[in-house]
Chains A and B, each alone.
Chain A
Amino acid sequence: MARALDDAALYRRIEDFMIRYVHCVDDDRLEAWPDFFAERCLYKIVSRENHDRGLPLGVMECDSRGMLKDRIASLRRANVYEPQTYRHQISALEVERLDGQRFKCRSNYLVVRTMADGAMSLFSTGRYLDRLVAEGDDFLIEERLVVFESRQIETLLVIPL
């Protein structure tokens, strides 16, 4: 990254934003998940394989808050999958200021998926590559690229990362 953010308070607020995001997903408050994003945004989950080879395909790609809401509505009402929960661990947050309002961030994530029968697995690990925009005291995600490390997705992915 070009230059780390030297404003500790600002860094702490961005870190807090990242923490609230993963708690929202892990606590199954998914209806609130689209609110972390700007109205026009990009949320894309892409394998490191495709990302590194310059291939544009993602396993999930939404370019509006409406599409994020549709994902959640479909997950709640249309899609069929076994009950499961995530627990995210996030770390190694780097923040770089792009302009007065925007920040480029990257961080690592690790998600353990737990199924209804108790089976737990290391479901996904990778990095978040983000662009945030300040919105009052808070932030909104303009872009979140979730680059997952393994090229495989075991069985299916329904809950966002």
Chain B
Amino acid sequence: MERGADVISWPPEGVTRVPYAVFSDPALYRLEQERIFRGPTWHFLALEVELPETGSFKTTRIGDNAVIVVRDETGAINAMVNRCAHKGAMLCFEPCGKREHFTCVYHSWTYDLQGGLKTVAFRRGINGRGGMPDDFDQADHGLERLRVERLHGLVFATFSPQAPPLAEYLGPEMVANIERLFDRPIELLGYHHQPMGNNWKLYAENVRDPYHATLLHTFFGTFRLNTLTMDGGITIGRGGWHHISYSKMATERQKGEYDGLRSVVQDFGLADPSLIASRPERNDGITLAIQSIFPTCIVQQISNSLAVRWLVPLGPDRCELHWALFGYRDDDPAMRAMRLKQANLIGPAGLVSMEDGLVGELVMRGVAGDGSATSVIEMGGRDVASTENSRATETSVRGFWHGYRALMDL
């Protein structure tokens, strides 16, 4: 297999420098498909509540690969490449639904809910003429299957037999945060879909970057929803690949640190403060927890706004961010209304998140033309390590590049 190092060279400083060519090189993008998306990594596919019954399916993507995820007759959840074994046509082009089997529209080859090939139209020919050769064995021509694992109602898959089991891949701290947010039955509240004009890794960096959150997203600081002067920290998982950035709103003790920064607007009160009303749901005091799961999954708690996000690359210079927002089945009506109101904070029109759609595109435009230039990622030091008392750090961004370089052999 080709190595990333055959395509570009990484600066000797290591993960504190990222060559901008990684955000535009088409050869690197192709290699990512092989080494990352089809490599030993786990990818979020669905919430189990999206697949409530036998035959409930959802179509999604892992990198460039179209994937079907479906619940079968035994209750198991299976994932297959959404590509007919005959001529490669996409089997299923609805976003979700319910099926007894999957039939390709092109030549009517039919597959069961495990991806096995069940029928081939005109297999015996017509009036004894034509048809498939006698030794054609349907068992050899099923859909390409993925390894699937479920964790507290989240469904993940990998193409790779080399990927460690999901819980081991995530590590105990990452599993604990998923358990924390998925500790009871959830209710799906809806989706956002946000295409952006930037390489997927710019969003991967962005979501791992607590340094920007309170500077770019002025709304955060202005209403003290999240500041670096609150108690909080970064938990790094599995050698830097994953992270959780958390903060505790009740511990805010600003002493002028944000004075003079654009990120706090003075004299800006809300005419209707019900927008930011929140309710504590757990005893840990954590009011914001952003968790990244390498490479493209994000689990979000911003006050009472809960979501899973997953990122799909669309070529070197484009990606699409998908969001599934959820609450809990036992939410009272006021809690449900509060979650929906807080949803104003996030998503493509989110008062604290819309800027993330912009900055990736600004970087793309800024770095165009000179692939050998690099970024500087030294806030909080040069290493990759958890911190319990500071989020003025880019340690989790360095962690992402650590994982990326290892997988890409770069």
Residues of A within 8 A of B (CB): 45-47, 49-50, 53, 55-67, 69-71, 73-74, 77-82, 151-158
Contact = CB atoms under 8 A, between A and B. Distances in A.
Interface residues of B, number: 38
A155 to B, nearest CB: 4
B270 A70 contact: yes
Contact of B347 (A53, A55, A59, A79): A59
B271 A74 contact: no
24 contacts: A47-B192, A49-B191, A55-B191, A57-B343, A58-B343, A64-B274, A65-B271, A67-B272, A67-B344, A69-B271, A70-B270, A73-B268, A74-B351, A78-B351, A79-B354, A80-B218, A80-B355, A153-B194, A153-B348, A154-B194, A155-B196, A155-B197, A156-B194, A156-B348
Contacts of A151: 95, 191, 193
Given A59-B192, A154-B194, A155-B194, 6 more contacts: A56-B190, A57-B190, A70-B272, A78-B268, A153-B348, A155-B361
A152 B133 CA distance: 46
A82 B355 CA distance: 10
B349 interface: yes
Contact of A60 (B197, B219, B349): B349
Nearest to B351: A74
Interface string B253-276: 000000000000100101110110
B202 interface: no
Nearest to A159: B349
Contacts of B355: 79-81, 156
A83 to B, nearest CB: 11
Interface string B193-227: 11111000000000000000000101100100000
Interface in B99-123: none
A41 to B, nearest CB: 11
A45 B192 CA distance: 12
A66 B272 contact: yes
Nearest to A67: B272
Contact of A156 (B193, B268, B270, B358): B358
B317 to A, nearest CB: 13
Contacts of B349: 45, 59-60, 153, 156-158
B407 interface: no
Nearest to A34: B271
Contacts of A63: 274, 341
Nearest to A150: B193
A57 B340 contact: yes
B7 interface: no
A79 B272 contact: no
Given A79-B218, A81-B354, A61 B343 contact: yes
Contacts of B195: 152, 154-155
Closest 3 CB pairs between A and B?
A57-B190, A66-B272, A66-B271
Contacts of B340: 56-58, 61
Contacts of B275: 67, 70
A145 to B, nearest CB: 14
Nearest to A60: B349
A99 B216 CA distance: 48
Contact of B357 (A50, A61, A77, A155): A155
B320 interface: yes
B216 A80 contact: yes
A50 B351 contact: no
Contacts of B194: 152-156
Contacts of A153: 192-194, 348-349
A55 B96 CA distance: 14
A79 B190 CA distance: 24
Nearest to B355: A80
Contact of B189 (A55, A60, A77, A80): A55
